[in-house]
Amino acid sequence: MTTTTATELAALLDRVRAGRDFGPNVYSTLDVLQVLYDRVLRVTPATVDDPDRDRFLLSKGHAVAGYYALLAARGFLPADWLDDQGGPASRLGDHPDRLLVPGVEIGSGSLGHGLGLGVGTALGLRAQGRTDPRVYVLLGDAELDEGANHEAIAYAGATGLGNLTAIVVDNRSATYGWPGGAASRFTVNGWTAATVDGHDHDALHTALTGHDHHRPHVVVAAVADGE
């Protein structure tokens, strides 16, 4: 599979940015998104409706600029769309809408919805006997504050939902932190977990493919505080 170069991505991101300042949350997710779309997810613009595709659910919907840039780089949406992000005729809002953007699996923005939707998606695939596709949900460490996540973490762990991977981009932005590490909130409920440098592509790839197919898996992508 071809990879998205940092230069290419930066150029696309600049088109979304259009002179504005991005918060650290945009940059903190870029490497994870690159590794996912370049090396992990089995989905292409031609298979966005294939029931056997992998699903990527961006739960922290505000981290959208890099997401749009990546989707453009991989051909899911025309790069022209990036130039008018948020405009009155644009399909690209400050949070993504699955009905407006090809390749976007869920509309998100309100925190704490992605993991529940991911659990349901994983259950639906299982009910249909689709054992191949995998469901990946990207969250932030501050988003973990939302109680809805903990309903999903406990249930997925208890039922051994082995086709589900959560990715927590941890820039230590949760107001009260996660003493003992974000991963411990998952492992106590029976998930497998890996905590890696959120900018190290090889480490991310190893962690993202490190699931055992019997239990849900979490990858904590650690980046600099507030990044």
Partner 1 sequence: MRDAFVTSAGEVLADPRSTIVLADISAAAFAPAAARYPERVVNVGIREQLMIGVAGGLALTGQRPIVHSYAPFLVERAYEQIKLDLDHQGVGAVLVGIGASYDRAAAGRTHLAPADVALLDTLDGWTVHVPGHPDEVRPLLRAAVCGTGSAYLRLSTQVNTVAYPEAGDLRVVRDAGPGAPLLVAVGPVLDAALDAVADRPVTVAFTHRPRPFDTAGLRALAGAEVILVEPYLAGTSTRVVADALADRPHRLLALGVGRAELRRYGAPEDHDRWHGLDAAGLRRSVDAFLDPA
In the set 125, 166, 168, 182, which binds partner 1 (CB under 8 A)? 125
Residues 88-107 binding partner 1 (CB under 8 A) are 97-99, 105-107
223 lies in the binding site for partner 1 (CB under 8 A): no
Q: By C-beta, is 24 or 116 nearer to partner 1?
A: 116
Nearer Cβ to partner 1 (137/223): 137
Contact 164, 118 (CB under 8 A): yes
* C-alpha–C-alpha distance, residues 97 and 68, integer Å: 11
Out of 75, 87, 124, 160, name the contact with partner 1 by CB under 8 A.
124
Binding flag, residue 113, partner 1 (CB under 8 A): yes
Single residue of 24, 44, 145, 154 touching partner 1 by CB under 8 A: 154
DSSP code at position 129: T
Q: Does 143 bind partner 1 (CB under 8 A)?
A: no
DSSP codes, 78-111: -GGGGGGTTSTT-S--SS--TTTSTT------ST
Q: Binding to partner 1 by residue 5, rule CB under 8 A?
A: no
Could you tell me which residues are beta bridge partners of residue 222?
A: 170, 197
**Least distance (Å) between residue 117 CB and partner 1:** 4
The first and second tokens of residue 226, run together, are 């507030």
Name the residue nearer to partner 1 (CB basis): 11 or 154: 154
Listed ranges 28-36, 109-117, 168-176, 185-193: which one lies at the site for partner 1 (CB under 8 A): 109-117
Residue pair 60/110 in contact (Cβ under 8 Å)? The answer is: no
> 176 to 215, contacts with partner 1 by CB under 8 A?
none
> According to DSSP H, which parts of 138-193 are helical?
147-158, 184-187
Using CB under 8 A as the binding criterion, the count of chain residues that bind partner 1 stands at 31
Spatial separation of the C-alpha atoms in residues 105 and 108, rounded to whole Å: 9
118 binds partner 1 (CB under 8 A): yes
**11-50 footprint of partner 1 as x/- string (CB under 8 A):** ----------------------------------------
Rounded Cα–Cα distance for residues 192 and 188 (Å): 9
199's tokens? 């900018």
| CA dist 146 → 136, 180, 191, 202 (Å) | 18, 18, 19, 30
List residues binding partner 1 (CB under 8 A).
51, 97-99, 105-107, 110, 112-113, 115-128, 147-148, 151-152, 154-155, 158
